[in-house]
Amino acid sequence: MSKEILCTLGPASLEPRVIKRLEQSGATMFRINLSHAKLPDLQPMIEMIRQATDVPVCLDTEGAQIRTGEFVEGGITIRDNTIVRAHFRRVPTDDKNFSFYPPGIGSALRVGDFISIDFNSVLVQVIACETEFAEMRVLQGGPVGQNKAVTVQRAIPMPALTEKDKEALRVGLDLGLSHFALSFASRGADVDELRSLVGDSAIVISKIESRSGLENLEEIAVRSDALLIDRGDLSREIPLELLPQTQKSILERAKRIGRKVYVATNLLESMVTMPSPTRAEVNDIFNTLADGADGLVLAAETAIGRYPIRCASMVSKIIRGFEPNRSEWGAYSPVQAVSLLAEPHGGRLVHREAAERDRHGMEKLPRLCVSEKTLMDCEQIACGTYSPLTGFMDRETLRSVLAEHRLPGGDVWTLPILLQVPSHALGKFGRGDRVALTSAQGRIHAFLDVSEIYSQDLTSLARDMYGTTSRDHPGVEALLGDGDSFVAGDVTLVEPLASPHRHYLLTPAQTRFVFTQLGWSLVVGFHGRNPPHRGHEWIQNEAMEQTGADGLYINPGIGPKKKGDFLPELILSSFQTLLEFGCYPRGKVVLGSFFTYSRYAGPREAVFTALCRKNMGCSHFIVGRDHAGVGSFYPADANRRLFESLGDLGVQPVFFDAVGYNPKAHRYEVDRDHSLVMISGTEVRETLRAGKHLPDWFMRDIVQDILLRQIRSGAQVFYE
């Protein structure tokens, strides 16, 4: 992005996980507001931030501002038409007595001064000035918080830096910081003073938030690397209705001098407490960008708000929506929502669904009866799960995938997607023909535009694809048991297969819509083949913690599996039960099924399933010890080695070895030669098939009840 996002850190965001997520959401600088940070906390705070990220850290000085002091209970309410005292030293606070900071401000106040307190919540007038306090009558009462801005309705000369600022600058310089913001820059000499302390090589951002700053803008700008418009404090110095044009004026004047300008305050104020912004806020940000702002500053939104990551993501999305459309303003065209989700593999989500014109005359097309698995592949190609594939692979694509783990165009792809047919079925059509692909019942489900028909030596293909020619491998057995001819070409979906689980079958476009609606940008994908046991739950939660993800997408495969595997309806109902009983973090999990089948191709299939989840919008994908493998055909580290050899896939694998239960510590752990009781899907199947009950630490009782009830009723539970 060409625009910058500055995020203020505070209680809501001062932890490594949130800082990392803010960086991933587009933050280009982190700001520490010295008005709300204590000196003893500064060094450990900076060190923690620097350990979490390489994004620059900016110290923002307190500067020349009067503030309320510390309050015993954090805030007070001042009543109209009362007399109050503002003390120039710390005092126990009540609705009649409070303090102003810095201490020397008392000598600058005069009888008759009008003073606004806490963003114009309270208006008072000075009626007496004593050595220790100023007495004031309250013209407008209201709530007042501690450490809040106090504005005198006339210019009061104040030093550019407080003693706290100077000490904080020393700490920042010792820790290698190079970015500093000068609050309440009033004249060029203020910038010179800061420069004398931080050096000529430092990046100095001068904040324009007072009338004197406006009057001396040019001399401030030429001495600064950038300006920052603080609209909150500025709105106390100028009429609120003049703020928009003042912002435009500052941007224009600074641009003439060649200085960057950032804009702060009230960008997403509603998101301090709400998960979504108002339309007015979004419009304000867009117009601020259109006016020429180089960056936007989030303050309370990320420092104390409930949704710091969502705020940064929202600004990032508005910027992304702004940047490519500037030349098209004024022309209406419907657009998709801006997304921060992982980009589809190859850059575009494939969509190949038959239009009405495609269906005209389809009954006259040559037909090819194909397996349920082939029709499942057709559906996944057509809805974009296999993007960038648009159809079944030709000979050159197959060679490239097997030899180089890439498509001919260079995109990583590891698993052959093939339409395998017996030779006797090839006489009815040829290259260039459109063929209707049908089920065994004769129903047309897809079109295939034939680009090539070729043959392969199946034994060699099995060796290259599966790493073995043993018929004990279910993938090899299926491959060798079918024809030696292959048909390549683009697929167009006519009608998906019927499924009792259709409401769980979310297309990549649908998952991306759901994740965006939920405000997710980092999503962990989980591919399951069994009902969930406690090891699955621990891995899922651990992956969420490790990645700092916004959510988890549980996405079990529900196509045909090998004999002895659980039927899909039991897998889905087990996960659904866990969700209904609140066994997962609320609002953090989506359940959807993946209409596909296991090839048992080990590392090749592990990468393939990760790329499918990338197309669904997942940024991370859980890869277990024997993910997509079978028996002992693949070494324990084979998945990891293949992922690492392929480089950045745009989806990050989260690897886990076998997980067990530590009965002494009462917790779940990855097997590291500890005395763990191992948890496995095989033991789940064998124990439940025998009608026995597993301990609750192995599998939750609520899941076992579902499975055992089916078994005891005589209903089918496993593939036969």
Q: 92-101, pLDDT tens digit by residue?
A: 888 899 998 8
Using alpha carbons, select from 521, 530, 547 the residue that is nearest to residue 343. 521
Q: Write out the H or E segment, with its range, that includes residue 123.
A: strand 122-129
Residue 317, token pair as written in the block: 């999305």
Q: Give pLDDT, residue 564.
A: 75
Residue 41, token pair as written in the block: 């906390």
Cα dihedral 248, 250, 251, 252 in deg (nearest 10) = 90
Q: Give pLDDT, residue 334.
A: 47
Q: Give pLDDT, residue 289.
A: 95
pLDDT at position 332 over 60: no
Query: Across-strand partners of 298?
Result: 7
> 681-689 vs 701-713: helix axis angle to the nearest 10?
40
How far apart are the C-alpha atoms of 276 and 288, rounded to whole Å?
Answer: 19
CA 21 to chain centre: 7
Residue 542, token pair as written in the block: 């651990």
Which tens digits make up the pLDDT trace of 43-56?
999 999 999 999 99
Tell me the backbone φ, ψ of residue 32, rounded to 5 degrees. Answer: -110, 115
Residues 6+ apart with CB under 8 A from 256: none
- DSSP annotation of 338 reads P
Strands 29-33 and 4-8, bridge-based pairing = parallel
Cβ(442)–Cβ(368) below 8 Å: no
Cβ(660)–Cβ(668) below 8 Å: yes
Strands 29-33 and 367-369, bridge-based pairing = unpaired
Residue 538 DSSP SS3: helix
How far apart are the C-alpha atoms of 371 and 445, rounded to whole Å?
Answer: 11
Confidence tier at 326 by pLDDT (50, 70, 90)? low
Cβ(462)–Cβ(364) below 8 Å: no
Cβ(99)–Cβ(69) below 8 Å: yes
Residue whose tokens read 């047309």:
444
- DSSP annotation of 78 reads E
Q: Write out the H or E segment, with its range, that includes residue 58.
A: strand 57-60
Residue 353, token pair as written in the block: 């669904």
Residue whose tokens read 């950045």:
648
Using alpha carbons, select from 3, 16, 10, 52 the residue that is nearest to residue 31. 10
Which tens digits make up the pLDDT trace of 116-159?
888 768 999 999 999 899 999 999 999 999 888 888 888 777 88
Which tens digits make up the pLDDT trace of 646-681?
999 999 999 998 888 998 888 998 887 667 888 888
Using alpha carbons, select from 659, 584, 198, 609 the residue that is nearest to residue 417. 609
Q: Write out the H or E segment, with its range, that includes residue 165.
A: helix 163-174
Q: Give pLDDT, residue 333.
A: 47
Distances (CA, A) of 648 to 411, 601, 642, 645, 653: 11, 21, 12, 9, 10
How far apart are the C-alpha atoms of 3 and 411, rounded to whole Å?
Answer: 30
Beta-carbon count within 10 A of 591 CB: 18
Sign of CA dihedral 225, 227, 228, 230: positive
Cβ(21)–Cβ(619) below 8 Å: no
Query: Across-strand partners of 137?
Result: 83, 125
How far apart are the C-alpha atoms of 512 and 81, rounded to whole Å?
Answer: 56
pLDDT at position 58 over 90: yes
Confidence tier at 335 by pLDDT (50, 70, 90)? low
Confidence tier at 172 by pLDDT (50, 70, 90)? very high
Q: Write out the H or E segment, with its range, that includes residue 82.
A: none
613 vs 562: which has the higher pLDDT:
613
Strands 57-60 and 179-182, bridge-based pairing = parallel
Class of residue 119 by CB neighbours under 10 A (exposed 0-12, middle 13-18, buried 19+): middle
3-state helix, strand, coil in the chain (%, to 5): 35, 20, 40
Residue 34, token pair as written in the block: 């010295």
Share of the chain above pLDDT 70, in %: 98
Task: Report CA Rg, the chain.
Answer: 32
Mean pLDDT, residues 635-654:
95
Sign of CA dihedral 192, 194, 200, 203: negative
pLDDT at position 637 over 80: yes
Residues 6+ apart with CB under 8 A from 30: 6, 7, 8, 9, 19, 22, 49, 53, 55, 56, 57, 58
Q: Write out the H or E segment, with its range, that includes residue 206.
A: strand 203-208
Which tens digits make up the pLDDT trace of 499-548?
888 889 999 999 999 998 888 999 999 998 889 999 999 999 999 999 99
How crowded is the C-beta side of 692, counted as CA atoms within 13 Å? 9
Cα dihedral 563, 564, 565, 571 in deg (nearest 10) = 130
pLDDT at position 327 over 60: no
Q: Give pLDDT, residue 484.
A: 86
Using alpha carbons, select from 608, 610, 627, 628 the residue that is nearest to residue 619. 610
Assess whether the previous peptide bond of 103 is cis (omega < 30° from 0).
Answer: no
DSSP class per residue in 442-453:
--EEEEEEEEEE
Using alpha carbons, select from 17, 38, 134 the residue that is nearest to residue 86. 134
Tell me how many degrees the CA angle 552-556-561 measures, rounded to the nearest 5.
165
How far apart are the C-alpha atoms of 363 and 430, rounded to whole Å?
Answer: 18
Tell me how many degrees the CA angle 443-449-453 measures, rounded to the nearest 5.
105
Assess whether the previous peptide bond of 102 is cis (omega < 30° from 0).
Answer: yes
Strands 391-392 and 420-421, bridge-based pairing = unpaired
DSSP class per residue in 160-223:
SS-HHHHHHHHHHHHTT--EEEETT--SHHHHHHHHHHH-TTSEEEEEE-SHHHHHTHHHHHHT
Residue 53 DSSP SS3: coil
Residue 707, token pair as written in the block: 């499975």
Indicate the length of the chain as a whole number: 720
CA 262 to chain centre: 24
- Which amino acid does the sequence have at 457? D
- DSSP annotation of 647 reads -
Which tens digits make up the pLDDT trace of 215-250?
999 999 999 999 999 998 888 788 889 999 999 999
How far apart are the C-alpha atoms of 675 and 469, rounded to whole Å?
Answer: 37
Domains of the chain: 4-64+159-325 (3.20.20.60), 66-152 (2.40.33.10), 356-493 (3.10.400.10), 503-594+598-713 (3.40.50.620)
